[in-house]
Amino acid sequence: MIANFQWERLTMALAALAAMHVALERTVAYTRECRAFGRPLTGHQAVRHRLAELATTAHTARCVT
């Protein structure tokens, strides 16, 4: 029974990573479409920095899993 817990944890981690990847892709697509102050949101430095942080977190989680 304990051995199954390890596989369940891994499965849950992989499901969370997949959801994170989809959410990140949709967020990037949205920030490219949406405009603020005459330019896309990705044209703002703070938004780009936050997206880079999120991508780094997703990559780190993928490597650890």
Please give the share of the chain, as a percent, with pLDDT higher than 70: 98
* Bridge partners, 35 (sequence order): 40
Q: Tokens representing 63?
A: 């490597």
Beta strands of the chain (E only): which ranges? 35-36, 39-40
Nearest 5°: phi and psi at 4?
A: -65, -30
Q: Encode the chain (65 residues) as per-residue pLDDT tens digits.
A: 677 788 899 999 999 999 999 999 999 999 999 999 999 999 999 999 999 999 999 999 999 98
- Quick one: tokens of 55? 């991508």
Whole-model pTM?
A: 0.79
CA 40 – CA 34 distance, rounded (Å): 6
Q: What are phi and psi of 38, to 5 degrees?
A: 85, 5
